[in-house]
Amino acid sequence: MGKGLKPDLYIKSVFDLDVNWLKERGIKGVLLDIDNTLVTHKQKIPDEKVVELIKRFQENGIKAAIVSNARKKRVAVFNEKLGLYAKHRAFKPSNRGFLKAMSDLNLAPEETAVIGDQLFTDIRGGNRIGLTTILVDPLDKNEPATVRIKRIFEKLFLKRKPWHD
Ligand SMILES: [Mg+2]
């Protein structure tokens, strides 16, 4: 049995993440969601906070990569300045995008963390293959209807706080 929907860590924002938390756990790579994790759906390019965050990972010997369900163009435009390893249309919670990124970056599951704002895609997908999972609050509450519907279900789980028993 996996961890299901229980993240290993819950933080309000990815920008609050303490890299030491990752280092203490032997994490050598982070697989980052874009939409509502690094930037809002509306932001096409990374802002200074994102650039600083990626730099912080890299300076601490942690590889940063993008694994996103978004379209090719969205990911390519976003990643232009960052130049990270990036997978678009990852179909999270499918494990294929995660596994491909880990294989290309030479990362073992126990060295890899997933960071995202969605329980049913980012967290569930990462937990299924034994990755460290980090849940953040979505940056923008003004989301597309499809995502908002998912939030209703997420809230039911969050209320139960499954990771607090
Ligand atoms: Mg997202």
pTM: predicted TM-score of the whole model, two decimal places: 0.87
Ligand 1 centroid – CA 118 distance (Å): 6
How many angstroms does the Cα of residue 139 sit away from the middle of ligand 1?
A: 9
pLDDT (mean) for 120-141: 94
CA of 69 to the centre of ligand 1 (A): 8
**25 C-alpha to ligand 1 centroid (Å):** 24
CA distances from 132 to 10, 77, 122, 127, 158 (A): 11, 28, 11, 7, 18
- Residue 33 Cα to ligand 1 midpoint, Å, equals 6
Domain residue extents for the chain? 9-164
Question: What's the pLDDT tens digit per position in 34-60?
Answer: 999 999 999 999 999 999 999 999 999
How many Å lie between the centroid of ligand 1 and the Cα of residue 99? 18
Taking alpha carbons only, the member of 59, 82, 79, 63 closest to residue 71 is 79
Contact 63/96 with Cβ under 8 angstroms? no
Q: How far apart are CA 63 and CA 55, in angstroms?
A: 10
Local structure of residue 45 (DSSP, 8 states): S
**Partners of 112 in the β-ladder:** 29
Quote the pLDDT of residue 33.
98
Residue 4 half-sphere exposure, CB side, CA atoms within 13 Å?
Answer: 10
Count of CA atoms in the C-beta half-sphere (13 A) of 95: 11
What does the DSSP 8-state code read for residue 123? Answer: I
Tokens standing for residue 145:
């209807």
CATH class of 9-164: alpha beta
Q: Which residue in the block uniquely carries the two structure tokens 């300076």?
A: 59
106 CA from centroid of ligand 1 (Å):
24
Assign 158 a pLDDT band (cuts: 50, 70, 90).
Answer: confident
64, β-bridge pairs: 30
Query: For residue 4, what pLDDT is reported?
Result: 85
